[in-house]
């Protein structure tokens, strides 16, 4: 079975010099599907263009909390317009909450509005959460996602993982599980339902242990897969098959 990278920022400047060659190399190592989220209005076009150039790339569009100072109220209307125009978009994201940058009230407002938009367009969401898992759960209690979602870069507890999964939110597993210090998250991912997990890299960020300071790429998905398999009791072939189907099911990809 092939692999998928459920969250990678291949439109970022870090890939400007070798983007086409890198995507071709992904194919050669079995990474056949690349989900690329948009983070602000001014980069949605590049994400969509990338999906038009490469069959393996599927775009998402959203207003990321880390770029909150750039976002304007009318960006929400623009988001709806883009979703109407480009049917290849598979999710609203990357959206969410980040406690390291302040103004959480405004972040919650934009998140709730974007959940509403995703629900209207029958789309899942791609969620960012940094030190905000419990607050994010509160938002999801108030504003349920009706067509599922992905909590990318999951690094919480087993209890939090099961709460998110109960709300239709898949857990994005990346390089964090290769660090021994991530014992809480590794333990959680060893016991959660296999149906609840997808693999990701968050390229060019979130490298595996040993790769700190370098550029992360979707070529590392097979290594994330090996790290994940080491935590599980199922056989590797079944894990591979399930992880692929999870991405297909989450994003509604034929």
pLDDT tens by residue, 62-97: 999 999 999 999 999 999 999 999 999 999 999 999
Checking if the pLDDT of 211 tops 90, the result is: no
Pairing relation of β-strands 31-37 and 197-199?
A: unpaired
Q: E strand or H helix at 103, and its extent?
A: none
- The pLDDT score that the predictor gives to residue 242 is 98
Average the pLDDT over 198-220 and give the result.
94
- The pLDDT score that the predictor gives to residue 130 is 96
Average the pLDDT over 199-215 and give the result.
93
The answer to pTM > 0.95 is: yes
Domains of the chain are 3-251 (3.20.20.140)
- The pLDDT score that the predictor gives to residue 69 is 93
Considering the chain, what is the average pLDDT of its residues? 97
CA distance 251 to 35: 9
Largest CA distance in the chain: 49
Would you state the torsion angle of the CA atoms of residues 178, 182, 183, 188, taken in this order, to the nearest 10 degrees?
A: -90
Checking if the pLDDT of 213 tops 90, the result is: no
Count the helix, strand and coil residues of the chain and give each as a percent rounded to the nearest 5.
50, 15, 35
- The pLDDT score that the predictor gives to residue 1 is 78
In this structure, are residues 11 and 40 in contact, taking their beta carbons and an 8 Å threshold? no
Band of residue 149 on the pLDDT scale cut at 50, 70, 90: very high
- The pLDDT score that the predictor gives to residue 102 is 84
Checking if the pLDDT of 7 tops 90, the result is: yes
- The pLDDT score that the predictor gives to residue 178 is 96
Average the pLDDT over 120-125 and give the result.
98
Band of residue 153 on the pLDDT scale cut at 50, 70, 90: very high
């Amino acid at each position: 079975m092939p692999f998928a990278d459920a969250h990678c920022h291949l439109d970022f400047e870090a890939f400007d010099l070798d983007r086409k060659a890198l995507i071709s190399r992904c194919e050669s190592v079995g990474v056949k599907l690349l989900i690329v989220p948009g983070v602000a209005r001014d980069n949605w076009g590049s994400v969509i263009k990338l999906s038009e150039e490469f069959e393996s790339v599927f775009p998402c569009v959203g207003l990321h909390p880390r770029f909150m100072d750039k976002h304007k109220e009318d960006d929400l209307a623009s988001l709806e317009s883009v979703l109407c125009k480009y049917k290849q978009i598979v999710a609203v994201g990357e959206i969410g909450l980040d406690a390291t940058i302040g103004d959480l009230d405004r972040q919650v407002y934009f998140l709730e509005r974007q959940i509403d938009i995703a629900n209207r367009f029958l789309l899942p969401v791609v969620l960012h959460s940094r030190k905000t898992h419990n607050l994010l759960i509160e938002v999801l209690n108030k504003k349920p996602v009706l067509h599922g979602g992905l909590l990318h870069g999951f690094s919480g507890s087993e209890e939090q993982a099961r709460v998110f999964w109960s709300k239709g939110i898949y857990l994005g597993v990346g390089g964090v599980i290769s660090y021994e210090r991530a014992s809480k998250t590794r333990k959680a991912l060893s016991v959660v339902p296999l149906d609840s997990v997808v693999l990701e890299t968050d390229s060019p960020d979130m490298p595996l242990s040993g790769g700190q300071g370098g550029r992360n790429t979707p070529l590392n998905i097979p290594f994330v897969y090996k790290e994940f398999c080491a935590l599980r009791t199922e056989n590797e072939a079944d894990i591979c098959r399930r992880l692929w189907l999870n991405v297909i099911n989450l994003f509604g990809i034929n």
